[in-house]
Amino acid sequence: MEKENLLKLLQKEPLTNMGIIGFVENNPIKAVYNQGDTYIILGDSDHLWAYLYGRKPNELKEMLNTIEVPTKYFANIEDWMLPILTDGREVEWKLNTRRYYFPENIEIKEPVHDVDNLNKKDIEVILKHSHYSEYLTRKLIKERIEGGLSAAIREYGKLVAWGLTHDDKSLGFLHVIKEYRNKGYAQDIGRSLINKKRELNEVAYINIEPDNYKSINLSEGMGFKYDRNISWVKFK
Domain ranges, ordered by start, for the chain: 3-96, 120-202
CB-based burial label for 51 (10 Å; 0-12, 13-18, 19+): buried
- Edge to edge, the sheet with strand 38-44 lists 29-35, 38-44, 48-53, 73-77, 225-235, 91-101, 205-208, 171-176, 158-165, 150-155
**Most distant CA pair in the chain: distance in Å?**
59
Question: Which H or E run includes 130?
Answer: none
pLDDT of residue 131: 74
Q: Residue type for 129, please?
A: H
CATH of domain 120-202: 3.40.630.30
pLDDT of residue 116: 96
Task: Answer positive or negative: Cα dihedral of 177, 103, 165, 43.
Answer: positive
User: Rounded distance, CA 23 to CA 40, Å?
Assistant: 13
pLDDT of residue 110: 92
pLDDT of residue 130: 82
| Cβ–Cβ < 8 Å for 52, 74 | yes
| Cβ–Cβ < 8 Å for 43, 49 | yes
- DSSP class per residue in 154-217: EETTEEEEEEEE-TTS-EEEEEE-GGG-SSSHHHHHHHHHHHHHHHTT---EEEE-TT-HHHHH
pLDDT of residue 1: 81
Chunked mean pLDDT (size 10), the chain, 236 residues: 92 94 96 96 95 96 95 97 96 96 94 96 92 78 95 97 96 95 97 97 96 95 97 97
